């Protein structure tokens, strides 16, 4: 979204922007896990399992 000082504001949907921000933050937290960021797993199902585990632990710890 545009700043307050901008003369011609850029229109945006605040709800959609807030949801996108949450998704971006979630990916940022998942990339804190080295195994997820570097994608060490060869199989897609193993990688998905690692993402699920990391997301669960991140949610459970309340980071």
Query: For residue range 9-44, what is the model confidence (pLDDT) as tens digits?
Result: 888 899 999 999 999 998 898 888 888 888 888 889
Q: Does 1 score more than 80 pLDDT?
A: no
The Cα–Cα gap between 31 and 36 comes to 6
Can you tell me the mean pLDDT for 37-61?
88
Residue 37: the pLDDT is 85
* 51 found inside a domain: yes
Range of the domain at 57: 14-61
Residue 63: the pLDDT is 56
* 1 found inside a domain: no
Q: Does 50 score more than 70 pLDDT?
A: yes
Name the domain count of the chain.
1
**Residues with Cβ within 8 Å of residue 54, at least 6 apart in sequence:** 30, 33, 35, 36
């Amino acid at each position: 979204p545009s700043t307050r000082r901008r003369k011609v504001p850029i229109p945006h949907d605040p709800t959609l922007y807030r949801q996108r921000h949450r998704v971006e933050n979630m990916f940022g937290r998942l990339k804190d896990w080295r195994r997820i960021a570097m994608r060490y797993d060869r199989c897609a199902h193993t990688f998905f399992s690692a993402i699920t585990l990391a997301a669960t632990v991140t949610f459970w710890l309340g980071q």
